[in-house]
Structure 1
Amino acid sequence: MHRNLWSGFCLSSLLAVFSTLSGCIDSRGIIPQALRFDDAKLTTDQTIRKADRTVEWPRDQWWQAYGDPQLNAWVELALAGSPDLAMAAARLRQALALAGVAESEHAPQVKLDASVQRKHWPADRYFYGPGVLGDTTGWNNTTALGMNYDLDLWGRLRSDTERALSLAEVAATEERAAALELQNNVVAAYIQLALHHARLDIAEAELKQREQLLELARERLAIGIGTQLEISEAEAPLPEAHRQIDLIEEEIALTRNQLAALAGKGPGEGARLERPKLSLHGEPALPSNLPLELLGRRPDVVARRWQVAAEARGIEVAKADFYPNVNLVAFLGASSTTGDMLNFLTNGSKLTYGIGPTLSLPVFDGGRRRGKLSEATAAYDLAVEQYNQTLVAALKGVSDQLIRLHSLHEQEIFVGHGLETAERRYQLAEEAYRRGLTDYRSVLEAQSQLFDQQFLEQQIHAAHLTAQADLWVELGGGALTDDSGPAAEQLDAHKTTLHLPGRH
């Protein structure tokens, strides 16, 4: 009875001493400084508020809104075969594996150690004495089954596991961001392919009309109202027109190669691409609750949130290192110093075992733990500021694309008026030239302006399609589900089509 009381008193005293010593290393004064933005209170501009009641949310597979089956198939091909996405998936598997490693630390750690030695025992009157082992050679073998279980009293292992899981979430959202970037790159290159084909139509139409003007100049010379100078002037632009066609065909081939590379395929796959057939119906609206609902599912924003959570857990891990660590240790072993090589596996070996807690207490470490906590706190502050920066940049990106779309819509109207004027001027100049009322230069000037306006029209339409894709990407690329869309009144969507110049 007295012995039990004495043992309890010694243990209590020892714990009191350890508690006192633990005060030698403390974490006071090391706290995070950064504050995360309240994204629900960020001010949105008039452009975003106006877009609130225009049209619908982007859905999954947002590129299907362009109505081109070939584009749909090519995006799916790129998502299946892109090396960039494969690398992002590998990084995710790596992060998940590391999370599994952290989680395994919660379980008891059991290991088996065994050694087999052929040993010569010296004849030593001081250490071994004149015993039976003196000046003998035999097998000195041991085996031990050990168990170590970290009780995790301060949550260090738990926080480390949660941090690893948060980093795995970061990797998952970065994989989604890589897929979104790939989709946008494929759509942008595909729109450029459509624009190159439209340019080729214009260049071929220009060549055809220049050839018709040359034929007309020859007819005028034949009936005596033309001159050889007019024929020379009509012939002069033809080589450059042929060169422009060849240049555009080169751009088409290069863009096909680019699309093949984005899909992780060889140039032969890109050569199979036919002329795009793009049309766009509708533009995404923005939710009434801005910007939390607007930006809450963007992959980069989600990744930064998980990064903040991971670094917060890193602080908890660093703080737990300031406290005593208590483990439960047990072992079971056997040893043999004489006999055969495997004698320690038989009944002739000596069995030993033990079980009990172990405690390690930091007393003095030269500032290492405070340094690690300071680093973890700074990493948290950095993650918070990166989140704030990403959120502000995302809101700016949405506003920029809405402004750009509005501007392009207005430009389409102006370019349409300019194209009508250029068409009328060319028709009048051509008719006046036929009647001999003007010279060839007037027709050439009017024709050049017409083709410039046609090409400008195609550029504006391509820019509109690209800006729409960029806006979908800014909104998360269809990551939002249908039931997360706005309840505001829907208006009829403005149809945007990449027109071809054949109607001129």
Structure 2
Amino acid sequence: MQSPVSKWIVAFGVLTISLIITGCANTGGIAPQAQGLDSSTLDAGAAIRAANADAKWPDAGWWRAYNDPQLNAWIAAAQEGNPTLAVAAARVRQARSLAGVVASALSPQVKGELSIQRQHWPDNVYYGPGPLADQNTWNNTGTISLSYNLDLWGHNRNNAERALDMAHASAADARAAQLELEANVVRTYVQMSMNYALLDIAKSTVDQQHRILDLATKRLKGGLGTQLEVSQAETPLPEYERQIDAYEEAIALGRNQLAALAGKGPGAGGSITRPTIGLAAPIGLPSTLPAELIGHRPDVVAARWTVAAQARGIDVAKSDFYPNINLLASVGGFAAAGPMFQFLHAANGGWTAGPALSLPIFEGGRLRAQLGAASAGYDVAVDQYNQTIVSALKDIADQIVRMKSLETQSKDAQRSVDAARRNYQLSAEGYRRGLTDYLNVLIAQTQLLRAQEGVARVQAERIGVQASLVTALGGGVIEPEDGPDTAETLPAHGRGKKAPAPAPAPATPVASTTPGATAAAMRPVSTTSSK
């Protein structure tokens, strides 16, 4: 029969361990402080509210709307060969592999060890007479050991989820890099198209100036003009010819830029011909913003995955306060002296099995500091997510304002060209008939040149802004369901708390390119402090 003393000892031990565990689990109220933005509380602005309610989100091949096969080919080449995009893809693979390394801790670990040694024993100078004195023997060991962490507090599970969340964030960042690359190719291509248009205007202006010079020369020979008029007609020619050289230079630099974006040498750009890009219809904005915005922008989705990863980091830090239990077992054979395979005999075998428990008792405040750092990291991620939302709305609103302004500017610029052309024709005809002097022709020609350049620049900028708006809307490279659920962006202690509701649905039905999108993937992140 067990003595009463031993029972008291056992009870005291259990109580002591319980008190130690309770003390170790005291987190002292350390918790995140940041609060995720509710997108419905942000005023999207008049520009976004006035967007076309019948518009759809851009699809992944948005640049094909420009109907330029050469542009399509160069974007495909850039997607395949751009070094920056390759680096982003490699980082995604690296993040996924690291997530696999961390996730391996969830599985049982089996390890085998084999040691086969030939040993020469010293003579009896050290050990005295005996059977091993000055002998050669085999000393062999073979063991198989198994360990399994019970993970009672979710340390390994949350660590694996955190690594996987970071892999998701890396994938979203790679999609953002892809979208930015596509936009840069389009912008460079549009700039080249504009330079070709400006080159045409400059060449046309030089031809006009030569005709005026011929007319001034004929008038001088006929006694109707002066040498001053001839000199005035000659003076602009060098500047106009310099402009031609400048535009040709810009076109060549554009070819080099496209080749670089595609990860090729400058020589590859030599085959690029004049762009045939056309003005696409204005791109409207879906009226479901700002809620839909959260699910379609890669940077927003990446920010949400980062928040989810930081939330799991808090759970990992909390689990360190509790005991860790491993199940250990091993079986093996051991033999010193004897035949080479003596350790394989049953008589030489042995085994061990049982649990191993470890828990923090006194660690100098390290665990609380780790939890504080994890909570602060979560706050940083939430605030960065909030800033991403604010910046995204500003980006979209800016592009819409520019789009609407450029539509008006395009009409005004064309009116300016029409008026300047009539003025130039009248002044040129008046000069030919001797009714006016050359100064009027020079002024009218300068006005026409500037007006024509204005039209070309406004049209090119309009296409460029369309590309920027597509980028601001996410470019169709990611879907809302690619992001984490709202529960995943909260630490374990905050789950079950009510998160801010997403922006209300619009009164007018809107066509959507993502009918299967889940509402949870588009909600803002939130955190609730624990006691």
Tell me the TM-score normalised to structure 1 length: 0.90
2:83 corresponds in structure 1 to 83
Check if 1:228 corresponds to 2:227: yes
Q: Is the 8 A contact 1:106 1:150 kept in 2?
A: yes
Moved more, 146-155 or 289-298: 289-298
Shift of 1:282: 2.5
- Which stretches of structure 1, 4 residues or more, deviate above 4 A after TM superposition? 2-15, 121-125, 128-137
Distance of 1:227 and 1:64 partners within structure 2: 56
C-alpha separation in 2, matches of 1:411 and 1:382:
42
Is 1:487–2:487 an aligned residue pair?
no
Letter in 2 for 1:159: N
Q: Report if aligned partners of 1:71, 1:187 keep a CA contact under 8 Å in 2.
A: yes
**Match of residue 372 from structure 2:** 374
Q: Is structure 2 residue 114 aligned with structure 1 residue 92?
A: no
Counterpart contact for 2:179–2:477, Cα < 8 Å: no
CA contact 2:54–2:286 (8 Å) conserved in 1: no
**Cα RMSD between the aligned structures?**
2.8
Answering whether residue 459 of structure 2 is matched by residue 461 of structure 1, we say yes
Pair 1:6–1:471, CA change in 2 (3 A): farther
Is the 1:54–1:284 Cα contact (8 Å) retained in structure 2?
Answer: no
2:199 alignment counterpart? 200
2:46 paired residue number: 46
Matches within 5 A, 1:98-247: 98-117=98-117, 118=119, 120=121, 138-247=137-246
Aligned length: 486
Q: 2:337 is paired with a residue of what secondary structure? A: coil
- Counterpart-to-counterpart distance in 1, 2:11 and 2:395: 63
Report how far residue 229 of structure 1 moved.
2.4
- Check 1:145–1:480 CA distance in 2 against 1; reply closer, same or farther (3 A cut): closer
- State the alpha-carbon separation in 1 of the partners of residues 100 and 323 from structure 2: 25
Q: Which runs of 5+ in 1 are unaligned?
A: 491-504
1:98-120: CA deviations, max 9, x gaps?
Answer: 11111111111111223344263
Among 410, 413, 418, the residue aligned to 1:412 = 410
Summarize deviations over 1:402-439 as a string: whole Å, max 9, x none: 11111111111221221121111111110111011222
Q: Which amino acid in the other structure matches residue 372 of structure 1?
A: Q
What is the CA–CA distance in structure 2 between the aligned matches of 1:143 and 1:435, rounded to whole Å? 112
Give 1:341-356 correspondences, 5 Å limit. Answer: 342-347=340-345, 350-356=348-354
Residue pair 1:335, 1:350 contacting (<8 A) in 2 also? yes
Partners of 1:308 and 1:489 lie apart in 2 by: 30
SS at match of 2:301: helix
Aligned pair partner of 1:434 in 419, 432, 435 = 432
Cα displacement (A) at 1:481:
7.3
347-356 or 166-175, which deviates more: 347-356
Deviations 1:234-255 (A, max 9, x none): 2222222222111111110001
| Cα distance change of structure 1 residues 419 and 131 upon mapping to structure 2, 3 Å threshold | same
The 3-state SS of whatever aligns with 1:448 is helix
What's the offset of the Cα at 1:347? 2.4
Distance 1:124 1:40 in 2: 90
Deviates more, 1:224-233 or 1:88-97: 224-233
Give me the whole-angstrom Cα distance separating, in 2, the residues matched to 1:429 and 1:62. Answer: 46
Please say if residues 55 and 282 of structure 1, whose CA atoms lie closer than 8 Å, have aligned partners that are also in contact. Answer: no
Query: CA 1:12/1:462 → structure 2, altered by over 3 Å: closer, same or farther?
Result: farther
Spell out the pairing of 1:289-300 with structure 2 (5 A cutoff).
Answer: 289-300=288-299
For residue 142 of structure 1, report the CA deviation from its aligned partner.
Answer: 2.0
SS in 1 for 2:322: coil
1:256-295 → structure 2 map (5 Å cutoff): 256-295=255-294
Distance 2:479 2:149 in 1: 44
Match status 1:399 vs 2:397? yes
Shift of 1:279: 1.7
Q: State how far apart, in whole Å, the 2-side matches of 1:148 and 1:3 are.
A: 33
Identity across matched positions, percent? 47
How far apart in 2 are the matches of 1:215 and 1:34?
76
Q: Are the structure 2 counterparts of residues 3 and 157 from structure 1 closer, same or farther at C-alpha, using a change threshold of 3 Å?
A: farther
Q: Which amino acid counterpart does residue 28 of structure 1 have in structure 2?
A: G
The alpha-carbon deviation at position 44 of structure 1 amounts to 1.4
Q: CA deviation at 1:330?
A: 0.2
2:295·2:479 contact (CA, 8 Å) conserved in 1? no
**In the alignment, which residue of structure 2 is the partner of 1:495?**
none
Aligned amino acid, residue 232 of structure 2 = E
Closer, same or farther: CA 159–352 of 1 in aligned 2, 3 Å: same
Contact 2:406 2:462 in 1 (8 A): yes
- Alignment CA distance shift 1:121-1:106 (3 Å): farther
| Alpha-carbon separation, structure 1, partners of 2:82 and 2:190 | 19
Q: Does 1:425 align with 2:426?
A: no
Query: How far apart are residue 24 of structure 1 and its match?
Result: 3.8
* Residue in 1 that maps onto 2:491: none
Deviation at 1:233, TM superposition (A): 2.0
Instruction: Name the CA distance, whole Å, in 1 between partners of 2:451 and 2:47.
Output: 29
Residue 54 of structure 1 deviates from its aligned partner by 5.9
Partners of 1:8 and 1:102 in 2: CA distance: 43
| Cross-structure match for 1:250 | 249
What secondary structure does 1:53 align onto? Answer: coil
Q: 1:148 is paired with a residue of what secondary structure?
A: strand
Q: Quick check: 202-211 or 218-227, which moved more? A: 218-227
Residue 324 of structure 1, CA deviation = 0.4
CA distance in 2, matches of 1:4, 1:240: 112
Match of 2:522 in 1: none
Cα 1:449–1:180, aligned 2, differ >3 Å: closer, same or farther? same
CA distance in 1, matches of 2:45, 2:222: 67
Structure 2: runs of 5+ lacking an equivalent: 481-504, 513-531
**TM-score (norm. length: structure 2):** 0.85
Q: Give how far 1:295 is off.
A: 3.5
Shift of 1:165: 1.0
Aligned to 1:501: none
Deviates more, 1:65-74 or 1:177-186: 65-74
Q: Deviations over 1:434-475 (max 9, x none)?
A: 011222222111101100110011111111111111111100
Residue 70 (structure 1) aligns with = 70
**Segment drifting more, 229-238 vs 420-429:** 229-238
* CA displacement at 1:333 relative to structure 2: 1.4
The CA distance in 2 between the partners of 1:489 and 1:159, in whole Å, is: 39
Number of the residue aligned with 1:390: 388
CA distance in 2, matches of 1:462, 1:355: 75
Asked if 2 retains the 8 angstrom alpha-carbon contact of 1:58 and 1:480, the reply is: no
8 Å CA contact 2:120, 2:134 repeated in 1 = no
Deviations 1:468-503 (A, max 9, x none): 111111000124779x9983499xxxxxxxxxxxxx
Distance in 1 (CA, whole Å) between partners of 2:158 and 2:316 is: 6
